[in-house]
Each structure stands twice: as C-alpha cells, then as structure tokens.
Amino acid sequence: MDRSYLSDQQVVAASREFVCARLITFEDSEEARLMRRLYGGRRLVNTMFTIMDPRGKRALVRAGRSPRMAFDDAVEMATKMRAVAKRYPGRKKLDAADLGLPILEDVRIALNVTECDAQQLVVLRGDDQQIQKMRQKLVALSWSEQLIGRFLYAVADDNTDWKSLKGADKGSKAGVMIVRTEQYGLTGEVVSAAKASATVTELQEMLLAAVASHRPKAVDTRRLRRKGIRDRVQWKAEISPPKGR
C-alpha cells in the first residue's frame, strides 16, 4: 500500500470529506468480486485504488494499483479529492452515527492491520445488544478530532482465537479492550479495558490515555520481511493470493 500518498497531510485533510474504505485483499469473496469489477475483471492483485461516487457505483478515477498510478504526487491527489468533494458535497447536517464506526470486523485480520498501521486495536465483546450499545457510544468518539484515525475497531465473536489476545480469555466479561500488537500482528496484548456499561466519558478517557502512552516504532519493512521469512511466519489468507502477484 502506498503510504507516501495516503499519509500525506494534505491527502489526510481532504479525506475528511470522504468515506474512506480500505478493504483487505484475499479475505472476502464479495469484496474480491468488487475488485474484479473495478479492475476490469482481471485476476486479484494485492493493492488497488480508486475514487467512487457516493453510491459506490461509478469510479471517478480509473482504478489502478495505487494512487501513484493516478497522480504525479500527493499534492495532485489532494487537489483531485477536493474537486470531487466539491462535486459531491455530502449532507450538510451530519451525525457521527451516519459515518458509522470505522470497523474491521474480524479480530485476526484486525490485529494484522493494526500492526501494519502501527496503531492500536479496540476490540468489542458481548452479545448483540451490548455490541450495538458499545458501538453507539464509540462512534462519535471515533470521529472526534482527538481520536480520528487513531484506532482500528473490531468485534470478537465465536471465531475469535482468544489465545492471540494476551490478557483476555474466553471467560472475560463483555466490554471494550485496547490491544497493542507484536511485530507480525498475529497476537496482541490487552493494555486497558472497560466494562460494557462504561460511559462515553469513561471510554473517551481510556482511549485518550492509550493514545498518550502509545509510542509507535519506526518499521523497516525490508528487514521485517527478511526476519519473517527466517522465522517462518506466514499469513494464511482466506483466498490464496496468485503467484507472482
């Protein structure tokens, strides 16, 4: 993924007028179909980029492997994004709930993505009603100035491997956990937790404290990849990536 464009501060600022979707390739057959449709029916590739209309029907920028294929630099990308936002200005009266919680449901994938982004993961656990209430409490916080883009969110379910979350187990109570991941994003450690009944203020305090104490490390991807090969660490995707992708 092209971090140089997507972490550029002009692009980040422009993204606030968009709904931003980063879908995980090789993990969901429905989303794989979407990629094939947008990318001309060709085989799956590990990265793809485009900008779409609010109905998700029409690509406004020709789909390519990365923003680098569409724009000379991040400034040009931000300029295009501002032009698109002007053409599709969105609803004026907007509630945070309209934007939804930026969630990646699957805890296993979310751990990996959290490490890729050097972020922290918020895991919700509980029954459907409890999850719904926790989502309602977190949604406005997730889009607040202090917390936007700081966490990834996931929901634990029957398939969650609790061994991958140090400090949590199958018998833990319903609630919200903040998790920090190890270098490959296969496991994580619970660094703080709140009950499902926690108030919005209590959740906000917990999230802000986690942001304040988090020190994301610089990552040398080449070195990590070599180490991963030596350690025989392999990601198992739902859909097998094609060779030579």
The residue (of 20 and 209) whose beta carbon lies closer to other proteins is 20
Cα(235)–Cα(177) distance, integer angstroms: 24
| Cα torsion angle, 52, 57, 58, 63, sign | positive
Q: Residue 76: helix, strand or coil by DSSP?
A: helix
The residue (of 55 and 171) whose beta carbon lies closer to other proteins is 55
Beta bridge partners of 188: 165, 181
The residue (of 31 and 189) whose beta carbon lies closer to other proteins is 31
- State the minimum distance, in angstroms, from the CB of residue 171 to other proteins: 27
The residue (of 23 and 209) whose beta carbon lies closer to other proteins is 23
* Backbone phi and psi for residue 123, each to the nearest 5 degrees, phi listed first: -110, 125
Q: Is residue 13 left, alpha or beta, with left meaning phi > 0 and alpha meaning psi from -120 to 50? A: alpha
CB 172 within 8 A of CB 196: no
- State the minimum distance, in angstroms, from the CB of residue 128 to other proteins: 16
Which of 206, 215, 53 is CA-nearest to residue 137? Answer: 206
- State the minimum distance, in angstroms, from the CB of residue 28 to other proteins: 8
- State the minimum distance, in angstroms, from the CB of residue 226 to other proteins: 9
The residue (of 167 and 216) whose beta carbon lies closer to other proteins is 216
- State the minimum distance, in angstroms, from the CB of residue 222 to other proteins: 4
Give Rg (Cα) of the chain.
Answer: 19
